[in-house]
Amino acid sequence: MLSGKNALITGASRGIGRAIAIKFAENGAFVGINYNKSEDKARDVLKIIRDRGGDGILLKGDVSSSKDCKEVVERFIDERKSIDILVLNAGIYERGSFLEIDEERWDRVISTNLSSCYHVLRFAIPYIGNGGSIIFISSQLAFKGSKHGADYAASKAGMLGLMRSLALELAPRIRVNAVAPGTIDTDIISNYSQEMREKRISEIPLRRLGKPEDVANACLFLASDLSSYVTGEVINVNGGLYIH
């Protein structure tokens, strides 16, 4: 589905980003695997991709840094000359009430989750050709809010505003969409007790937690020509937990 395409994915060393990178490579894309600190995990992703007949490149860089974002894009372009698919996935979540959020934490979360999109996009867009696809990884908390992560919810809601604006601005040359995952079984919920996991599962109509591959499948659709008439949209991957 993505044969001959060049895909750059931020935060691709683990969780949802890892699943997207592997899924895209399995479908023929050359994958740029951005990571910051998890080099061993990033190398593991690249090994899996190559063992399955695909290929990619490791791109170390802190997406909260404009300088690093520029270098990540430039290294990918030096290798592949163009970008067909850009997935803005990098993000952090820190649990706590609003009054527990100090300025340092607020700036860290907004910089990593939202400002990073601005930095990557302004360097990457000039290299995205006709028919390109940009995919934001947002969250269901962008719609419903969070009593344990107001900064995270704000950053993910901001992503959707940016996505919709770019969908209008970049059409018809580039399609811009988002995926909004629900509760996905990744590191973000690793501190859930068994009781918390069972309670959440009981609230989900499809009666299971999401898998990173569920999100990757939605991204594959948005990255491929199957979604050639889709832009400015959000695909909710939440098992029916929140029906919009």
Structural domains in the chain plus CATH codes: 6-237 (3.40.50.720)
The token pair at 108 is 């860290």
Tell me the per-residue pLDDT of 167-194, one tens digit each, with 9 for 90 and over: 999 999 999 999 999 999 887 777 778 8
Active-site entry in 118, 152, 192, 229? 152
Work out the burial of residue 232: count CB atoms within 10 Å of its CB; fewer than 13 is exposed, 13-18 middle, 19 or more buried: middle
Question: Which tens digit of pLDDT belongs to each residue from 93-127?
Answer: 988 899 999 999 999 999 999 999 999 999 999 99
Kindly provide the b/e burial profile for residues 170-200, where b requires at least 16 CB atoms within 10 angstroms of the residue's own CB: beeebbbbbbbbbbbbbebeeeeeeeeeeeb
> Residue 105 and residue 66: Cα distance in Å, rounded?
19
Provide the residue type at 64 as one letter. S
Predicted confidence (pLDDT) per residue in 66-75, tens digit: 999 999 999 9
Q: Is 152 a catalytic residue?
A: yes
Asked if residue 6 has pLDDT above 80, the reply is: yes
User: Each residue of 45-91: pLDDT tens digit?
Assistant: 999 999 999 999 999 999 999 999 999 999 999 999 999 999 999 99
Q: Are strands 30-35 and 6-9 parallel, antiparallel or unpaired?
A: parallel
